[in-house]
């Protein structure tokens, strides 16, 4: 009975637009598949032959009104190029979560989408944000026992994720005697689905304690991993004069001010930082959790990161962590190369 009431409540939310969506699906024959909090078209689309598009062909779409669906979004983004895939993030109630990803058949069409549709007024007073997608494909699993080998981890991951293309094991920068695994997937979507399945934060998988996160720049540098091969850059959604001012050396010194300036220029409101510091490890690394809320941005930025915590006072640790987080947010907004 309770389950029936819950379903009736869900169906009643935004029912008019849901009905329009269903009518559009029937009329166009469009197939949408919902799994793990996202609804997907294509990937590949009907009639597709060959490999998936190269990295750099996907764009991020933000500030979508939550009552809009694919019947409005897909035709709009198809108007500037051929879609390989469109993913709309969904809530359990059937509203969208305010953001989506559109993947085109090539980089040129992704650039056209950014140039044409960034700032587009999709409904009265609502202007969407369209910018390049970071398309990350590597995650970290930290806190693993030093006795773990690649084959064992591969077998474990194959049971709960798909698309693993490479696994590398390194001494953990967080705790001595433990191991961190860098797991590369064959696509951003596969990595995102794996990260969601494994859960960010503490998790037990076949008795293995895992801390799951995207591979961060600071971790890559700490482990001396090779940099990602250079890719053709897609223009950012931000004005070029702002991006050109974000010189890397300046960012490390003034990241918080730069982020404030970017948010001001995009009329997003000033960022609010929440940072929780943990203890300094025996190796001198300080792990911390962060969340940055930008009032008019569709979702908060959150995760875990490390800084060198030795010989720093409490207020200095907090400020250094805040600066690093500002760089991460600028990178996510497309202002800084990862």
Q: Give the per-residue pLDDT at 282.
A: 63
Would you say domain 2-132 falls under CATH 3.40.50.920? no
Query: What is the average pLDDT value for the chain, to the nearest integer?
Result: 79
Q: What is the pLDDT of residues 171-210, one digit of tens each?
A: 888 777 888 889 999 888 788 888 877 764 445 554 556 7
CA separation for the pair 332, 129 (Å, rounded): 13
CA separation for the pair 150, 329 (Å, rounded): 32
Asked if 52 and 44 touch (Cβ cutoff 8 Å), the reply is yes
Q: Give the per-residue pLDDT at 63.
A: 92
Average pLDDT over residues 217-246: 50
From 3.30.160, 2.30.30, 2.40.128, 3.30.70, which CATH number describes the 240-332 domain? 3.30.160
Residue range(s) in the chain whose domain bears CATH number 3.30.160: 240-332
∠ CA 52-226-172, nearest 5°, is: 105
pTM for the predicted model, two decimal places: 0.53
Report how far apart, in Å, the C-alpha atoms of 68 and of each of 16, 111, 118, 213, 287 are.
11, 24, 17, 30, 39
Protein fold of 138-222 = Alpha-Beta Plaits (3.30.70)
| Structure token pair of residue 320 | 């250094």
Q: Is 129 exposed, middle or buried (0-12, 13-18, 19+ CB in 10 A)?
A: buried
Please list, in sequence order, all residues whose beta carbon lies within 8 angstroms of the beta carbon of residue 135, skipping any fewer than 6 positions away.
55, 56, 58, 188
Q: Give the per-residue pLDDT at 228.
A: 53
DSSP 230: P
Q: Residue 164 above 60 pLDDT?
A: yes
The distance in angstroms from the start CA to the end CA of the chain is 50
Q: What is the pLDDT of residues 83-126, one digit of tens each?
A: 999 999 988 778 898 999 999 999 999 999 999 999 999 999 99
Asked if 212 and 199 touch (Cβ cutoff 8 Å), the reply is yes
Top mean pLDDT of 36-50, 64-78, 156-170, 229-243 is at 64-78
Q: What is the pLDDT of residues 52-83, one digit of tens each?
A: 888 889 999 999 999 999 999 999 999 999 99
Residue range(s) in the chain whose domain bears CATH number 3.30.70.330: 2-132, 138-222
């Amino acid at each position: 009975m309770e389950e029936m009431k819950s379903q009736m409540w869900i169906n009643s939310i935004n029912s008019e637009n849901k009905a329009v969506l269903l009518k559009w699906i029937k009329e166009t024959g469009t197939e949408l598949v919902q799994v793990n909090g996202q609804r997907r078209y294509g990937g590949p689309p009907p009639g597709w032959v060959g490999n998936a598009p190269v990295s750099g062909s996907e764009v991020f779409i933000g500030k979508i009104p939550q009552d809009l669906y694919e019947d409005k979004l897909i035709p709009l983004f198809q108007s500037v190029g051929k879609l390989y895939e469109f993913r709309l993030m969904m809530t359990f109630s059937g509203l969208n979560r305010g953001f989506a990803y559109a993947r085109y058949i090539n980089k040129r069409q992704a650039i056209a989408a950014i140039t044409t549709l960034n700032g587009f007024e999709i409904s009265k007073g609502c202007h969407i944000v369209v910018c390049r997608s970071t398309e990350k494909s590597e995650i970290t699993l930290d806190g693993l026992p030093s006795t773990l080998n690649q084959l064992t981890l591969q077998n474990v991951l194959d049971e709960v994720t798909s698309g693993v293309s490479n696994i590398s094991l390194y001494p953990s920068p967080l705790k001595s005697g433990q191991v961190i695994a860098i797991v590369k997937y064959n696509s951003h979507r596969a990595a995102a689905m794996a990260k969601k399945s494994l859960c960010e934060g503490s998790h037990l998988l076949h008795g293995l304690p895992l801390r799951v996160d995207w591979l961060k720049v600071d971790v890559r540098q700490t482990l001396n991993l090779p940099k990602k091969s250079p890719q053709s850059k897609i223009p950012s959604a931000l004005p070029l004069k702002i991006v050109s001012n974000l010189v890397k050396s300046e960012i490390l010194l003034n990241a918080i001010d730069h982020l404030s300036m970017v948010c001001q220029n995009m009329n997003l409101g000033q960022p609010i930082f929440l940072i929780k510091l943990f203890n300094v490890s025996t190796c001198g690394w300080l792990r911390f959790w962060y969340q940055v809320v930008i009032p008019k941005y569709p979702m908060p930025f959150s995760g875990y990161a490390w800084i060198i915590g030795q010989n720093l006072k409490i207020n200095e640790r907090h400020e250094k962590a805040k600066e690093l987080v500002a760089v991460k947010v600028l990178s996510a907004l497309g202002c800084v190369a990862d």
